[in-house]
Amino acid sequence: MHIQPKQKQKATLTRAAFAGLVTANPPHVLKQSEVARRAGELFGGNLASFDRLRPVYENAEIETRYSSVPIEWYQEVHGFGARNRQYIETAVDLLEEVAVRSAEQCGLGLDEIDGIVTVSTSGIATPSLDALVMERLKLRRDLDRLPIFGLGCAGGVVGLARAAQMARGRPGANYLFLVVELCGLTFRSRDFSKSNVVATALFGDGAAGAIVGSEIDGAEIGVSREHTWEDSLDIMGWDVTDDGLSVVFSRDIPTHVRTKMNDALQTFLAEQSLDLADIDHFLCHPGGAKVLDALEGIFKLPEGGLKHSRQTLRDFGNMSAATVMFVIAAAQRDGLKGRALLSTLGPGFTAGFMTVDL
């Protein structure tokens, strides 16, 4: 017996929206020029190819980043346990801040929160971060909880999509959507790999929060999709080592974006009977300057057209999953209105897409 595959039907989405988007950073400011100088001291005598890699600091198009630890910390040796304790302490502090501010902006009391979705891939917490925040803020005991780990930079859009799905399934409920990444804590001073050097030029720390619900007065969340490419598991991720998480970066990421992302994007748009001309704004995770160059080509934008993504990269660096939320916040501060396409790229290798009506 042959069963015919079901034809995809365009479903009518129950309304979901987000509001009260806020961002936060830890207190230590890292200037790229100072990072480059310190990296030269650390790597120069241990990595023969460092002089060839030195331009990565300028080419990253980053001026400022934020860190949960002072810059001197990065020149010391730290075990996995010490790193992770710092991760949990700082992550919960930042999530407490954005959760309280987000609820206040929406005029909600903390007792009106019905669920919590927390995204992070730069450390490990069990009990998970959502449970720790729940205890810190004395939230209700009957919350829906969803901790999300492993999505890396894709976590901002994919995590927001999961929060929207939960909100659509429980009309009237208010979900805290929280993202925190402390990428700097993964730096390992004895790792002289090219990927580790690139990470010192790129990564920063940050957090974001918003309220997601079916009755929230805010930016309406449209359709979301993911695309995970075959044979791409080695493009991005972590290797777990005795002294921490070792970053995995493929030099082919920009090439992969240029040659393969457009097909996934066009499939996503076609499912909604849209094309690029129907998108008013492109709000993308700024994985790096070369990735933004590739995305501008795909979106048929002029050089520098991804204004808010480039501004965020310049001022905060790559904060993994949190970064796209900073990009959205920058667009909202500028008063952007209309249909926006959100996009992210992360381990898997996975692209996340979402349309939002700002």
Question: Which of 106, 153, 183, 284 is flagged as catalytic?
Answer: 153
Greatest alpha-carbon pair distance for the chain in Å reads 70
Sign of CA dihedral 58, 60, 64, 65: negative
Beta carbons within 8 Å of 78's beta carbon, 6+ residues apart: 189, 243, 244
Distance CA 177, CA 274 (A): 28
Secondary structure (DSSP) of 290-335: HHHHHHHHHTTPPTT--HHHHHHHHHH-B-GGGHHHHHHHHHHHTT
Q: What is the layout of strands, in order, in the sheet containing 205-213?
A: 144-148, 115-119, 174-182, 205-213, 17-24, 219-228, 350-357, 339-346, 281-284
The two structure tokens encoding residue 299 = 């979106």
Distance CA 44, CA 52 (A): 11
- Give the end-to-end CA distance of the chain in Å, rounded to a whole number: 48
Beta carbons within 8 Å of 116's beta carbon, 6+ residues apart: 130, 133, 134, 139, 143, 144, 145, 146, 175, 176, 178
Whether residue 183 lies in the annotated active site: no
Smallest CA-to-CA distance from 225 within 280, 154, 276 is with 154
Q: Between the CA of residue 314 and those of 166, 219, 288, 342, what are the distances in Å?
A: 34, 25, 10, 19
Angle 330-333-338 from CA coordinates, rounded to 5°: 90
Taking the CA atoms of residue 73, residue 76, residue 80 and residue 86 in that order, the dihedral angle to the nearest 10 degrees is -20
276: which DSSP letter? G
Beta carbons within 8 Å of 310's beta carbon, 6+ residues apart: 61, 286, 289, 292, 304
Distance CA 286, CA 309 (A): 5
Residue recorded with tokens 């400022």: 64
Which residues are catalytically annotated?
Answer: 153
